[in-house]
Structure 1
Amino acid sequence: MATSRNPSPLPCAFLLISLLFSSSSALFSPSDNHLIACGSSSAATLEDHRVFQPDSTCGYSHLHSYGPKVSLSSVVDSSLLPSPLHGKARVFSRSASYEFHIKEKGAHLIRLHFYPFTSSEYELSSALFHVSAGEFSLLTNFSTSVPVLKEFIVQVDTDSISINFIPAEDNLFAFVNAIEVISAPRDLILDICSLVKPDRVEKFEGLSKQSFETLYRLNIGGLKVTPFNDSLWRTWLPENEVSVKFDAAESKIESFSGRINYLKYGASREVAPDNVYQTARVIGDSSHNMTWEFSLRPENRYLVRMHFCDVVSMALNEMYFNIYVNGYLVNKDLDLSHVTGQLASPYYIDFVIDTDNSGLLKITIGSSNISKTNWVHGLLNGLEIFKMNNTDAGLDGEIPISMLPEGIVRRGIGEFMMSLPCGFGFAILLVALFVLVMKWRTESRNSLAMSHLPSVALEGKSAKGGYQMVSKVEI
């Protein structure tokens, strides 16, 4: 019998070091990574190992408050809280803002944590307030009775950004538990995508300059993905945890335990993590489709991102399928092998969509006519839906004057008052210039009129010895 040999530890150690190095080098390291625990007196460490600094001592943010600010300590068992961030909150009875220094201009992720607990002084579920980033509205008349995380993608083109909290009325208040301001990867939102109209698909440019609010982020066919397993610290929910109408009776779920092949210029781990691409819901019968239906705010514009990764085909070019948006065919005979060149390689498609007055959005994956019987007839790995800003004012309607923090309003009034002397001075100069021009025009007319009148010279001298000119008018 042959004796077995223990493998040399050197190759194993070298492999482990290589894996650790490749993993660490692939981690996203944002230039701006501001994490604050509002109302807390100590740092809060999350399960994903991120550390949120208390807003009272944080060096990279500054709290401006124009009224009383209150820190609330939770009265419930801390072990029952969903996060260490939710045991404290900062409450504002008047407008206030957090100012963050920005190192890298461009798209930033802004996340606002709200956990409406009840203390002896406040019931946070009764709060009603507005939130803006600078003068760009994020939330208007916002209130919540359940824990919620609001995520936005906002363009920042200045050296700092202020997150403002303004009570909707004088007798109300605003609150927040935690804030994140993080530089977004440059490839998170590309500039060009497809615009879906009722009767055609057009090219859409300028997507990277828009702002977004995340509404849905689904791991289709998979389990919940927590921030611990996402390089951008996002949460991906399974289909059964969101209020989505789903029609896929003949579909099935497939999983993949192999390596996801990320391409150099393709979808990166910052676009979606391995856990999303390793699971998929697939069409099991060529005569059936898969449809997800969402109820959105009517007559608004949305960005729909669909994630694909062929982790089920046995060979290249053995899966073709169609994509429909609200019943309209937007992509026919999609072949993932053609766009990626290999199996288990992620790919995503962005669509900009205008909803009608119904607000319904239907996403459908259907089989292709050129698909063979024994092939997979379509799949979907992940789905994201973002609300886009309709105007320059923001994501949640026009900005009322009450949304502007008092500091901005005061600064605006102050600048206006300071500009008044300059304005008056400029007006006086204009009036003086006008008077001079009118006088010059009058004198010019008189001089011109005299040059056209007949005249005679009298032989004589003036009292001063000079010749005297007199005019003779002919009638």
Structure 2
Amino acid sequence: MVMEKVQGRGFLGVVFLVIVFLSVSSGEAQSRSFLVNCGANSSVNVDGRRWIGDLVPNDNFTVSSPGVAATDSTANGDSLYRTARIFDNGLNYTFSGVQGNYFVRLHFCPFPIENHNVNESLFSVVANGLKLLADFNVPGEISDKYLPLQNSNSNSSSLSLVKEYILAINDVLVVEFIPSKGSFGFINAMEIVPVIGTLFADLVRRVGGSDANVSGRGIETMYRLNVGGQEIKPDQDSDLWRKWEVDSSYMITADAGVEIKNSSNVTYASNNDSSVAPLLVYETARIMSNTEVLEKKFNMSWKFEVDPDFDYLIRLHFCELVYDKANQRIFKVYINNKTAADNFDVYARSGGKNIAYHQDYFDAISAKINTLWIQLGPDTAVGAWGTDALLNGLEIFKLSRSGNLAYGDRIGPTGKSASHLKSWILWLGIGAGVASALIIAIACTCIFCFCKSQRNEMSNTKDNPPGWRPLFMHGAVLSSIANAKGGAQTLNGSVAAFTRVGRRFTLSEIRAATDNFDDSLVIGVGGFGKVYKGEIEDGTLAAIKRSNPQSEQGLAEFETEIEMLSKLRHRHLVSLIGFCDEQNEMILVYEFMANGTLRSHLFGSGFPPLTWKQRLEACTGAARGLHYLHTGADRGIIHRDVKTTNILLDENFVAKMADFGLSKDGPALDHTHVSTAVKGSFGYLDPEYFRRQHLTEKSDVYSFGVVLFEVVCSRPVINPSLPKDQINLAEWAMKWQRQRSLETIIDPRLRGNSCPESLKKFGEIAEKCLADEGRNRPTMGEVLWHLEYVLQLHEAWMRTNATETSITSSQALEDLELRVAEDAQRRPSSLDEDTVRPRHEG
């Protein structure tokens, strides 16, 4: 009996050992890596790893065709990239004993090859039936990926490229290289590395929707960034050998975020997370810079070029390195201008400080989009204590569709592949360029002949004064305006532009008007330069704005200002008298506004305070000017720099919009916005415009909303000396306005001297102007209508000389609203006759 028990135990022990052996053997099979040095008959050691030459006999993989082995004997770089395998026909690499999920990395480094021009190579790659690349050109891909990110004259051929894929493999992996017709391909090295642990979940949160299933799909790594830190080399990433780039090259504004490092050891939330990213990624981060000053609606933004018509998995890596409790840093995550997450608290989600955490998102990119935006910014709903955002790392993965990961093989609307479409578009572009050049040449010839004839005519006219020719580029515009005003004025028989629109001053006239630019005559300084009070020869006072050569604004703003004011005439727009462009000077001459800027009458200048009625009239006048800009031209004009220093007051305190150097024509009828770089003044910028670079008329509306709060509160829009929650006027005022307690923070000089109901309505208008999304903001016409209503409320209150009687009664308000509505029906546009007639006749 005892012997039977011993024998039984011995049998179980043998079985156990066999199971262990099989498990170990299976694990070894699953964890096998293949490092292939293509085109080499020997092996090389690189970063502590041994790469086997594909000409060396071995049992790990087979090559279907020898092709041509090439060597770059002059190369001084990585020894792995000194050889390559060239193929004019199909070439297969077959790897056996591969089971599970693997990183498949293809290494390319073009170098001169005899009888082959690598710049003309074109080939496709297929792995187990999944197309990875189609009509692929390595030098072109290197140029697209790297050269835009470098401020150097680097030769793209000296750079290498690694294409990384994550594939599920069942025992055998076959990688096929297929040259395009009449071309060839090459490969320098291949790397097959097993994925450790579970890298991706089957279900991923969809941006703005339900979960998406990503299991079973091929994956291509598009971007992998170590945010806020240095580049992480493959040998620093445990056993997965991933490369992590720095993120600054992809940021829209690198200064929007500052780099921080951990002050103690970072750990993973669980052991399963160790394969997601190395701890080096979590030990550095980028947070918003100057959070004491930045508006909470502005973000850290990264922009990436991606292939259209694919699905993408975006992985964000987080680790709270500063705060040791929850609710200290809460922010929003935007992906392609859609809210992916709000109330994002890294500490709460990860479970503490210095704990690594990641979050995946799924988003589908349409066929018309080739960019992907990642933006992080504070959540405006959480209060001032959350004014910040944080990110440690970022990865973007492309997911296969219908067994395809190759963008070049996507079928276009004409039935041709994207590569053929690119070729067709290229030739179309060349043809269009040639045609454009011919048209420009013909136009220049015609203009030259016209100018020559004009000079001949003028040379036959005696005593032509030198200062009265219209600026060449705007002569047609100025002449048409002059004709519209009853014909051009003449001087000694020559045709002159309308004086109030575009008189061309000589520099000597400008010097005489400003006493040789005497600093005692300076009445303002702006982004363009100094503004002088001057007197031209007929005794007319003028504001003379001289460009500063060191200013960021220059010729473009100078031309824009003249162009805009040459075609705009409105009693609430400052009139342009003329300009001077002699001796590299850029000088603009405007009508003189005796009472200066609206801002100077609100705070900081010592001027007597404006009454509530004067402030309402100034706001209403400025709104009329902006409304005219938005509606007075075919496409409308967007001011783009609305602020209280650009609202000027004349001797009667009539408000006029000024400074059109940043103005842009509105979108065409078939467009909703103008795509342009962000410009404007800090504190007034529309956050939607800042995030998306989409400029609309509603961007002016947002800025005007900030102006309204500035008018009622009499304080700067940004004041870093105030407590943190009061630094930004728009945020501070909106906080009180949402509580319907704006009267708590208004200018104390208005208390008791203004209609409470008008203040209430005024705050509601400002609140609507500052809506997060432009589509939820009113038009300037609607803003103007409501401001006129507020002004009437106040005037009625003043007439009754009471604060708690008839005007605040509901019946009186209903009667007043009825009168205003009737007035609006009689005058659908708020522009009366004198808004389209110039204030000064020539």
TM-score relative to the length of structure 2? 0.41
The CA deviation at 1:368 is: 2.2
Where does structure 2 lack aligned partners over 5 or more consecutive residues? 1-27, 140-156, 412-842
| 2:74 equivalent among 76, 80, 89 | 76
The CA deviation at 1:130 is: 0.8
Secondary structure of the residue aligned to 1:154 is strand
Q: Distance in 2 between matches of 1:248 and 1:332?
A: 23
| 1:272 equivalent among 265, 270, 277 | 277
Deviations 1:130-187 (A, max 9, x none): 1110221110001112421110111213x21111111111x32121111011221231
Aligned to 1:164: 176
Q: Distance in 1 between matches of 2:256 and 2:409?
A: 45
Secondary structure of the residue aligned to 2:52 is strand
Secondary structure of the residue aligned to 1:338 is helix
Secondary structure of the residue aligned to 1:228 is helix
Alignment of 1:91 onto 2:86 = yes
Closer, same or farther: CA 132–297 of 1 in aligned 2, 3 Å: same
Deviations 1:185-226 (A, max 9, x none): 231111111122xxx321112x23211111111111111110
Alignment of 1:179 onto 2:179 = no
Aligned to 1:425: none
Closer, same or farther: CA 393–377 of 1 in aligned 2, 3 Å: closer
Closer, same or farther: CA 63–384 of 1 in aligned 2, 3 Å: same
Aligned to 1:101: 96
Alignment of 1:149 onto 2:169 = no
Aligned to 2:823: none
Does the CA contact (< 8 Å) of 2:331 and 2:376 recur in 1?
Answer: yes
Secondary structure of the residue aligned to 2:215 is helix
Does the CA contact (< 8 Å) of 1:213 and 1:395 recur in 2?
Answer: no
Aligned to 1:292: 302
Q: Distance in 1 between matches of 2:387 and 2:252?
A: 20
Deviations 1:256-293 (A, max 9, x none): 2531111226632x211122111111024262311112
The CA deviation at 1:41 is: 1.7
Q: Distance in 2 between matches of 1:175 and 1:399?
A: 23
Q: Distance in 2 between matches of 1:367 and 1:76?
A: 53
Q: Distance in 1 between matches of 2:399 and 2:352?
A: 33
1:69-468 mapped onto 2 (5 Å cutoff): 69-77=67-75, 80-81=76-77, 83-104=78-99, 106-145=100-139, 146=157, 147-157=160-170, 159-169=171-181, 171-196=182-207, 200-205=208-213, 207-231=214-238, 232-240=240-248, 242=249, 244-247=250-253, 249-256=255-262, 258-264=264-270, 267-268=273-274, 270-284=275-289, 285=291, 287=296, 288-356=298-366, 357-369=368-380, 371=382, 373=384, 377-396=388-407
Q: Distance in 2 between matches of 1:187 and 1:135?
A: 24
Closer, same or farther: CA 305–204 of 1 in aligned 2, 3 Å: same
Does the CA contact (< 8 Å) of 1:30 and 1:185 recur in 2?
Answer: no
Q: Distance in 2 between matches of 1:275 and 1:351?
A: 22
Partner amino acid for 1:195? Answer: R
Higher helix share goes to which structure? 2
Q: Does 1 or 2 have the higher relative contact order (CA < 8 Å, sep 6+)?
A: 1
Q: Distance in 2 between matches of 1:30 and 1:313?
A: 41
The CA deviation at 1:74 is: 0.9
Higher mean displacement: 187-196 or 120-129: 120-129
Closer, same or farther: CA 399–304 of 1 in aligned 2, 3 Å: closer
The CA deviation at 1:399 is: 9.4
Does the CA contact (< 8 Å) of 2:112 and 2:118 recur in 1?
Answer: yes
Does the CA contact (< 8 Å) of 2:259 and 2:286 recur in 1?
Answer: yes
Deviations 1:334-377 (A, max 9, x none): 12222221211111111111113122221111112465645662
Does the CA contact (< 8 Å) of 1:266 and 1:347 recur in 2?
Answer: no
Q: Distance in 2 between matches of 1:329 and 1:221?
A: 23
The CA deviation at 1:295 is: 2.5
1:42-61 mapped onto 2 (5 Å cutoff): 42-47=42-47, 49-57=48-56, 58-61=58-61
Partner amino acid for 2:166? Answer: I
Secondary structure of the residue aligned to 1:221 is coil
Does the CA contact (< 8 Å) of 2:251 and 2:300 recur in 1?
Answer: no
Higher mean displacement: 323-332 or 363-372: 363-372
Higher mean displacement: 311-320 or 367-376: 367-376
Q: Distance in 2 between matches of 1:167 and 1:397?
A: 14
Partner amino acid for 2:283? Answer: Q
The CA deviation at 1:30 is: 6.3
Q: Distance in 2 between matches of 1:37 and 1:277?
A: 33
Q: Distance in 1 between matches of 2:189 and 2:93?
A: 11
Deviations 1:220-263 (A, max 9, x none): 111111011102101111124x5x35235442110125311112
Closer, same or farther: CA 110–376 of 1 in aligned 2, 3 Å: same
Q: Distance in 1 between matches of 2:136 and 2:316?
A: 29
The CA deviation at 1:382 is: 0.7
Q: Distance in 1 between matches of 2:230 and 2:387?
A: 22
Deviations 1:415-458 (A, max 9, x none): xxxxxxxxxxxxxxxxxxxxxxxxxxxxxxxxxxxxxxxxxxxx
Q: Distance in 2 between matches of 1:393 and 1:332?
A: 34
Q: Distance in 1 between matches of 2:215 and 2:300?
A: 30
Count of residues paired in the alignment:
357
The CA deviation at 1:388 is: 1.1
The CA deviation at 1:102 is: 2.7
Partner amino acid for 1:91? Answer: I
Q: Distance in 2 between matches of 1:30 and 1:46?
A: 23
Partner amino acid for 1:162? Answer: V
Identity %: 30
Does the CA contact (< 8 Å) of 2:44 and 2:79 recur in 1?
Answer: yes
Aligned to 1:17: none
